[in-house]
Amino acid sequence: MAAPEPFDAVDVIRTKRDHGELSDGQIDWVVDAYTRGVVADEQMSALAMAILLNGMTRREIARWTDAMIRTGRRMDWSAVDRPTTDKHSTGGVGDKITLPLAPTVAACGAAVPQLSGRGLGHTGGTLDKLESIPGWRASLSADEMLGVLRDTGAVVCAAGDDLAPADKKLYALRDVTGTVEAIPLIASSIMSKKIAEGTGALVLDVKVGSGAFMKDVGSARELAETMVALGTDAGVRTVALLTNMETPLGLTAGNALEVRESVEVLDGGGPDDVVELTVTLAREMLAAAGISAGKDPADALKDGSAMDVWRRMIAAQGGDPSAPLPAARETHTVLAPADGLLAWLDAYQVGVAAWRLGAGRARKDEDVQAAAGVELHAKPGAVVRAGQPLLTLHTDEPARFDRALEALDGGYVVAPAGSRPDLPPLVIDRIG
Ligand code: URA
């Protein structure tokens, strides 16, 4: 006969519902029992909602994170002869930074083992972007990951099913129960995966603004502080930057479009904000890894060494870095309605438009269109002339244009020339 369970799910739910603190034993049990299927989805939904409404103490969050890590395995990079360092973004529109960043940091002397995800809803996913490169493969065995990391200095691939499996199950449940936005649950979800990934240092890019999970600086700071404390307590040198996500990063949102722009950055060009964020995050990653004397990331982008790592990293996963990227069958251009200054271009609305054009998925099992997305011809602060192209929409299915244009309705404002738009800085704050 199976041993009796030491706790009762209803008691655990009642404790949190009534503003109590969960004990270590309750947390360890409920996370493990949910992963085993002993605690039912409806019970975990009730508990997640109680956590969203009543919060958790730092001790509870740390224990919950640790319990999630213990449902799977921890990766080990001790066979790699360089310090490991990684970056995690909380997700935004046009956020392709991992693509130029990982090879840049590798070119400066660190090893970057990055387990990435796919996009859901209006935010893009790194794996979907890289899969637009002909032949590139996201799934690698642990041995293959180690091989790519040792040979090239960077590996970007999908997390295996055995990395924090509790999070996979709980994240899917939160997605359909209105409980994604709970700071203790976001922090433990992200940090359980990053700690299990085994990186020695971690830089968190916590996005703030319309295109991000955190819409205001106060909640972004709370999330960042919680994650930095979790990482530090687990022995991972962790810092966080709060960065602006009111408007898309760079000039593209969509898979192949973003790969093209990333290659421009690796070639020493590309939009200023993408270059600035890549260089800033790369310097933080190197400093967190204890590498201070080597090449500067800005030089690695200019001298071709970051591009060289990129080409080897893509080829090591079956991709052809020289192959032409997929192009959309149809395009539609949106023109500036008046002379003036582009005062506002909303990240969320551009993200939804790209998603509706086919760049993203509404359900986890859907395919994405590699070439779909939105290309920006101007960024907030630019002077524009009536009739000049403002945005180009790309898709393989022209029936998608109407819904994408609806998503963009009211998403950009051309103000009279001479007005001063209120543009937040790209990097808002640093924590850690
Ligand atoms: N990303 C994650 O991995 N988990 C969350 O809860 C939110 C964003």
Whether ligand 1 lies within 6 angstroms of the CB of 189 is answered as yes
Q: Are residues 137 and 198 in the same domain?
A: yes
Task: Report whether residue 336 contacts ligand 1, using a CB cutoff of 6 Å.
Answer: no
**CA trace torsion 40, 46, 49, 54 (10° rounding):** -120
Residue range(s) defining the domain that contains residue 31: 9-55
Q: What would the mean pLDDT of 192-221 be, rounded to a whole number?
A: 96
Q: Is residue 70 part of a domain?
A: no
Q: How far apart are CA 213 and CA 207, in angstroms?
A: 7
Q: Quick one: which atom of ligand 1 is closest to the CA of 171? A: 6
User: Looking at the domain assignment, is residue 215 inside a domain?
Assistant: yes
Q: Is 404 within 8 Å of 368 (Cβ atoms)?
A: no
Residue 123 lies in a domain: yes
How far is ligand 1, taken at its centre, from the CA of residue 103, in Å?
A: 24
One domain for residues 135 and 184: yes
Strand segments, DSSP code E, in 291-388 are 330-335, 340-345, 373-376, 383-384
Non-local CB neighbours of 398 within 8 Å, separated by 6+ positions:
330, 332
Verify that 340 and 269 share a domain, yes or no. no
Q: Calculate what percentage of the chain has a pLDDT beyond 90.
A: 89
Tens digits of residue pLDDT in 305-362: 999 999 999 999 999 999 999 999 999 999 999 999 999 999 999 999 999 999 998 7
Instruction: Please confirm, yes or no, whether 122 is among the known catalytic residues.
Output: no
Q: Taking Cα atoms as reference points, which of 243, 189, 191 lies closest to residue 220?
A: 243
CA atoms lying within 13 Å on the CB side of residue 301: 26
Instruction: State the distance from the centre of ligand 1 to the C-alpha of 301, rounded, in angstroms.
Output: 30
β-partners of residue 157 are: 115
Q: Is the pLDDT of residue 120 over 70?
A: no
The percentage of residues in the chain with a pLDDT greater than 70, rounded to a whole number, is 99
- pLDDT tens per residue, range 64-97: 999 999 999 999 999 999 999 999 999 899 999 9
Shared-domain flag, residues 251 and 282: yes
Asked if 31 and 149 sit in the same domain, the reply is: no
List 45, 116, 189, 305, catalytic entry? 189
Q: What is the pLDDT of residues 4-24, one digit of tens each?
A: 899 999 999 999 999 999 999
88 is catalytic: yes
Question: Is any ligand 1 atom within 6 A of the Cβ of residue 116?
Answer: no
Residue 135, classed as helix, strand or coil, is: coil
Do 226 and 137 lie in a common domain? Answer: yes
The two tokens of residue 110 are 């660190």
Burial of 367 (0-12, 13-18, 19+ CB in 10 A): exposed
The CA-atom distances, in angstroms, between 356 and each of 121, 148, 167, 403, 408 are 9, 35, 27, 7, 11
Residue-wise pLDDT tens digits, 375-386: 999 999 999 999
Q: How far is the CA of 74 from the centre of ligand 1 (A)?
A: 19
Coil, strand or helix at 89: strand
| CATH number for 349 | 3.90.1170.30
The confidence score (pLDDT) of residue 78 equals: 93
Provide the whole-model pTM: 0.95
Q: Please state whether beta strands 330-335 and 389-395 pair in parallel, antiparallel, or not at all (unpaired).
A: antiparallel
CATH of the domain at 136: 3.40.1030.10
- Same domain for 280 and 152, yes or no, is yes
In a domain, 245, yes or no: yes
Average pLDDT in the 20-41 region?
98
Could you give the number of structural domains in the chain?
Answer: 3
Which member of 174, 237, 283, 356 is catalytic?
174
Cα distances from 363 to residues 118, 130, 172, 352, 360, in angstroms, run 11, 19, 10, 14, 9
Of the given ranges (23-27, 119-123, 130-134, 367-371), which has the lowest mean pLDDT? Answer: 119-123
